[in-house]
Amino acid sequence: MNNYEPIIGLEVHVELNTKSKMFCRCSADYFGKEPNTHTCPVCLGLPGALPVINKQAIESCIKIGLALGCQISKKSLFERKNYFYPDLPKGFQISQYRWPLCINGQITLDSGQVIRINRVHQEEDTGKLSHRGDVTLVDFNRSGVPLVEIVTEPDFRDVESVRDYAKKLQQLLRYLGVSNADMERGDMRLEANISVHPIAIASKASPWRLPDYRVELKNINSFRFIVAAIEYEIKRQIEALEKGEKLLQETRGWNEDKKCTFLQRSKEEAHDYRYFPEPDLPEIEIQNSDTKKIAEQLPELPWSKSKRFADEFKLTATQAQILSESKELAWFFEETVKHGNKHGVSAKEIANHLINKKTDINIVLPVQVIEELKGKRVGIIENKEELEELAEQAVKKNANAVLDYKKGKEVALQVLIGAVMKLSLGKADIAKLKPILEKLLKS
């Protein structure tokens, strides 16, 4: 593998949490419902049924685009993506290809790597197939649910950055409140386009260029599975090239039981889908005022919140990332800090408590956390005279530590602090004890 470099791009499909479907009034809350009970002539593709655009879905798509730094198109069109599959009742999917809502964005990973976003566009989901032996059943409850596709440029070179990107995107979607992004339920599905090329020193005579093929891994619903699938596929492609085989454009699936990818079909190009404008839907015009209004609704983004937590509350980068991991935990932390300020409990104490105790914020109130932290302080020895007496006892009982300190061994001070804590049964205020010990040792 050292002689080859993988070239990876990602397509992420995200179901929006709107109340109704993309082009009809059917409920989009299909999960776990009786099959084919959330359907109508529009989402079943019956003749004469006309679609109507879901405004909330469009606004959610624009929200995602803005959060990813995309340009919002002034003009956008829906198109028919024509292909036959049993879970596609109309024989085409209403999607966007030439006129997507959002283009040219980017996201920065925690490693500092910038991943370019090619497009964020709106489309509709398909139905769902259930295979039972020789019989396949179709449930159209999911058909027509609003779906956003987020497409990156081929900027990934390793599986770690793919996983980091997918997790960061999931976090963003939840912060925005546009999707539950629950991968087990299929709210968020990952697809990777992979190719490999020999590593060579580029020159004017042989400039670097993308390989002339790519393999698409389709519909993967787990961070662990996408990593395993990409790792396997990279290895498979390298072995094929080493044997002198020609790799073809194709779509493959991931078999978790066998831990391997498998061929599904030859990969189509855009022209195979015969895209053309959807004649039953109007052109979408996005005014600057519309974009500004949606931008004003954006919450503080997770990476901005993490940086603010570190700066404002003097937390470590790791602490700030953990506490801003979800919008709910971040809110709980800040509310607890507000209560803590009234009772002399610092943000750092609260951060350590929430992280180390893994506090269940669903059953605990911020004020309860403060009461618990205050309770730990009951009996703390802060009186100067008491601390001086304890310090003198510790110095008398630890002559060797005193000698070591006077020889310049700073670690000896910790030994003496430990001795005082033992004498006080852990109740001495270390912040006030330390200067008392230092003064005593210098006398």
Residues 234, 360, single domain; the answer is: no
Please give the C-alpha separations between residue 263 and each of 248, 267, 276, in angstroms, as whole numbers: 11, 10, 29
Residues 276, 425, single domain; the answer is: no
Question: To which residue do tokens 């104490």 refer?
Answer: 349
Q: Are strands 215-220 and 250-255 parallel, antiparallel or unpaired?
A: parallel
Residues 197, 84, single domain; the answer is: yes
Residues 282, 308, single domain; the answer is: no
Residues 278, 350, single domain; the answer is: no
Residues 186, 273, single domain; the answer is: yes
pLDDT digits (tens, 9 = 90+) for 177-221: 999 999 999 999 999 999 999 886 444 455 567 788 999 999 999
Measured in whole angstroms, the distance separating CA 296 from the mean position of its chain's CA atoms is 22
Question: Domain containing 410 — which CATH number?
Answer: 1.10.10.410
Q: Are 18 and 25 in contact (CB under 8 A)?
A: no
Give the residue from 271, 296, 321 where a domain finishes.
296
Give the residue from 296, 317, 334 where a domain finishes.
296
Residues 148, 236, single domain; the answer is: yes
Residues 254, 394, single domain; the answer is: no
Closest by CA position to 428, among listed 144, 437, 218, 322: 437
The residues near 58 (Cβ < 8 Å, ≥ 6 apart) are 101, 122, 284
Q: What is the pLDDT along the chain (443 residues), one digit of tens a residue?
A: 578 999 999 999 999 999 999 999 999 999 999 999 999 999 999 999 999 999 999 999 999 999 999 999 999 999 999 988 889 999 999 999 999 999 999 999 999 999 999 999 999 999 999 999 999 999 999 999 999 999 999 999 999 999 999 999 999 999 999 999 999 999 999 999 999 998 864 444 555 677 889 999 999 999 999 999 999 999 999 999 999 999 999 999 999 999 999 999 886 676 788 999 999 999 999 999 999 999 999 999 999 999 999 999 999 999 999 999 999 999 999 999 999 998 888 999 899 889 888 778 877 789 888 877 876 666 678 888 889 999 999 999 999 998 888 888 878 888 898 888 888 877 787 778 889 998 898 87
Q: Which two tokens stand for residue 312?
A: 């404002």
What is the pLDDT at residue 15? 98
Residues 273, 387, single domain; the answer is: no
Give the residue from 267, 296, 325 where a domain finishes.
296
Question: To which residue do tokens 């004498």 refer?
Answer: 423
- Count: domains in the chain: 2
Residues 64, 184, single domain; the answer is: yes
Q: Which domain holds residue 279?
A: 4-296
Q: Angle at Cα 92 formed by Cα 86 and Cα 96, nearest 5°?
A: 135
d(CA 92, CA 111): 40
Residues 319, 276, single domain; the answer is: no
Give alpha helix (H) positions in 281-398: 288-295, 302-313, 317-323, 327-342, 347-357, 366-376, 384-397
What is the pLDDT at residue 265? 85
DSSP string, 19-57: SB-SSSSSBS--TTSPTT-S--TTTTT-TT------HHH
What is the pLDDT at residue 356? 82
Closest by CA position to 436, among listed 397, 396, 386: 386
Closest by CA position to 30, among listed 18, 22, 38: 38
User: Is residue 62 exposed (0-12), middle (13-18) or buried (19+ Cβ within 10 Å)?
Assistant: buried
d(CA 86, CA 103): 31
Residues 327, 286, single domain; the answer is: no
Q: Are 382 and 350 in contact (CB under 8 A)?
A: no
| This prediction's pTM | 0.83
